[in-house]
Amino acid sequence: MTILLIEDNEGIIKGLTYSFQKNNYNLVSKTSIKEVKEYLKEDNHIDLIILDITLPDGNGFSLYKEVLKDLNIPTIFLSANDEEDSIVEGLNMAEDYITKPFSTKELLARINKILARQKKQSIIKVHDITFDMDKLILSKNNVPIELTALELKLVNLLFLNINKVVTRNTILDKIWEWTGNFVDDHTVTVYFNRIREKIGSDIIITIKGMGYRIDEK
């Protein structure tokens, strides 16, 4: 279980590193936005992020909005700012907001609660189709469905945005990001038609002129 701590206070880093190791958490600490961006370029698995709002090279809220939000990793904001507006802003964006000074035991309790909730939500069922978000396995009546790597990424994209429309522009951008290949709208339609055929279900809804959506029932 890996937790990314984005914090520039050495005292907090040392204290949390010790406490988290005792609780069998692997804590990776980064002290600036620059370090975080470099770390995220690597293929690292992160289960939860603890993010200080005030960093030496920028604002934690901005980092979350511009970089971390799209990663869909549960995040706890950490800040000395206990003003109501800041707390509300943080809670509207992420899972939790804790003000400094804080209790390490309370922080660990909140982390355990968030991770337990995430684990329950890791398998999504829609009609007779289930998708394991951790293992990236799509099944129908508990029988795995064989998909290509790209088809699986497209399915994962829809499940990550369950109950929300994923626009065609987003899909086109993602395919470019994943493959380095430019595709047009017709190719996207072909991809989703193939996925539907393999699934044998109508869980993928086409929103005409916009994109695609999967609704959790």
Q: Tell me, what's the pLDDT at 20? A: 92
pLDDT cut 90: percent of the chain above it: 67
Q: Tell me, what's the pLDDT at 201? A: 87
**Residue 66 DSSP label:** I
pLDDT over threshold 70, residue 217: no
pLDDT cut 70: percent of the chain above it: 98
pLDDT over threshold 90, residue 1: no
Q: Tell me, what's the pLDDT at 181? A: 86
pLDDT over threshold 70, residue 131: yes
Across 205-215, average pLDDT: 93
Residue 58, φ and ψ in degrees, nearest 5: 160, -170
Q: Tell me, what's the pLDDT at 121? A: 63
Ranges of beta strands (E only) in the chain are 2-6, 26-30, 48-52, 54-55, 58-59, 75-79, 96-99, 123-126, 129-132, 137-140, 143-144, 166-167, 204-207, 211-214
* Cα(197)–Cα(194) distance, integer angstroms: 5
Q: Which of 87-91, 158-162, 185-189 has the lowest mean pLDDT?
A: 158-162
pLDDT over threshold 80, residue 116: no
Q: Using 50, 70 and 90 to split pLDDT, how confident is the model at 216? A: confident
- Residue 2 to residues 49, 111, 127, Cα–Cα distance (Å): 9, 12, 33
Across 62-70, average pLDDT: 92
Q: How many other C-beta atoms can be found within 10 angstroms of the C-beta atom of residue 125?
A: 11
Query: What amino acid occupies position 40?
Result: L
pLDDT over threshold 80, residue 43: no
pLDDT over threshold 70, residue 198: yes
Domains for the chain: give ranges and CATH numbers.
2-120 (3.40.50.2300), 123-214 (1.10.10.10)
Q: Tell me, what's the pLDDT at 113? A: 86
Q: Tell me, what's the pLDDT at 120? A: 60
Q: Tell me, what's the pLDDT at 137? A: 92
Q: Is pTM, for the whole model, over 0.85? A: no
